[in-house]
Amino acid sequence: MDKEVRSYEYKPSKTWWLGNRRYALYMVRELSGFAVAVYGFIFLAQLFTLSQGPLAYDALLGVLLSPAGILLSTILLVFAIFHSLTWFDLTAKVQPPSMKGKPVPRKIVVTGTIIIWLFISYFVAVFIFRVG
C-alpha cells in the first residue's frame, strides 16, 4: 500500500511577473490585447452610430475628439502598435520562412514584415485622408 508522503506546495505570489523582464513584457502584451479589443469596440460603436444617422455619429465623434477622447485614443494607439510589434516578433519565431532549405534569420523576417506593414499602412492612410 502506498504511504502518503507529506509535501509542501508553494503558492505563486501576485507579483510573480515583476521579477523577470520577459514575464513583465508578457503581461504588457496581454494587457495590450485588451486595449486592441477596446479599440475594436469603439470602431463597432462608430459603425452603429453611423447606421443611426449623422446626428448620432457626430455626437460620438464629439466625444472621441474631446481631450479625454484623444488621450484615450493615443493610449490605445501605443498599445495597439506594441501589440502588433510583438505579433511580428512571434510570427518570425513560429513560422520562420526558409530559403533554399535554410531558415531566414529572425531579424530579417521581423524587419521585413514591419516594413511591409508600414508600407501598407501608408497607403491605407493616404486612401483614408484623400477620401475623407
Binding string, residues 65-104; x marks residues near another protein by CB under 8 A: -------------------------x--xxx---------
Identified binder of another protein from the candidate list 14, 15, 19, 55, rule CB under 8 A:
19
Q: Does 22 contact another protein by CB under 8 A? A: yes
Q: Looking at beta carbons only, is 8 or 123 nearer to another protein?
A: 8
The H or E element containing residue 57 is helix 54-64
7 binds another protein (CB under 8 A): yes
Using CA atoms, how far apart are residues 112 and 14, in angstroms rounded to an integer? 38
Nearer to another protein (CB atom), residue 17 or residue 117: 17
Q: For cell 531579424, name the residue.
A: 107
Query: CA 97 to CA 113: how far, in whole Å?
Result: 12
φ/ψ region of 101 (left if φ > 0, alpha if ψ in -120 to 50, else beta) reads left
Distance of CA 127 to the CA centre of its chain: 23
Q: Which is nearer to another protein, 25 or 59 (CB)?
A: 25
Stretch that binds another protein, among 10-18, 46-54, 73-81, 119-127 (CB under 8 A): 10-18
Note whether 90 and 114 are within 8 A (CB).
Answer: no
Neighbours of 47 (CB within 10 A): 9
Binding residues for another protein, per CB under 8 A? 5-10, 12, 16-17, 19-20, 22-23, 26, 30, 90, 93-95
